[in-house]
Amino acid sequence: DQQVKQNSPSLSVQEGRISILNCDYTNSMFDYFLWYKKYPAEGPTFLISISSIKDKNEDGRFTVFLNKSAKHLSLHIVPSQPGDSAVYFCAAISGTYKYIFGTGTRLKVLA
């Protein structure tokens, strides 16, 4: 049973445009969400996070939105750059330090 789902395995976006990556979850007990970015042959690196008591968090070009009623979060990247091409994972935790990761979305930013 996949508690955290990323239904789009891949996404292509033109450089300078907005990239929107989506993530759905089923467990309403999750209280913190994170996005990680992963380049080939490297470990994931932390990108941005959001607490369940908020609905938006911004950090430069990256914004995460949380819709608790829909159990949905999204990552917006504006403007997209070729260096953003990577696999993006969303993750959720429920206070026990057990992180549940989605299956990832491969973003390709076209120059």
The contact set with other proteins (CB under 8 A) reads 4, 6, 32, 34, 36, 41-46, 49, 89, 91, 93, 97-104
Give the nearest distance from C-beta 70 to other proteins in angstroms.
Answer: 21
Torsion sign over Cα 58, 69, 36, 75: negative
Return all residues near 74 (Cβ < 8 A) that are at least 6 apart: 20, 21, 22, 23, 64, 65
Q: Are 97 and 2 in contact (CB under 8 A)?
A: no
Residue (42 or 111) nearer to other proteins, CB = 42
Give the nearest distance from C-beta 15 to other proteins in angstroms.
Answer: 27
Residue (30 or 84) nearer to other proteins, CB = 30
Give the nearest distance from C-beta 44 to other proteins in angstroms.
Answer: 5
Residue (72 or 79) nearer to other proteins, CB = 72
- Quote the tokens at residue 13: 């976006």
Backbone φ and ψ for 84, nearest 5 degrees, come out as -80, -10
Residue (14 or 26) nearer to other proteins, CB = 26
Give the nearest distance from C-beta 82 to other proteins in angstroms.
Answer: 23
Max intra-chain CA distance, the chain = 42
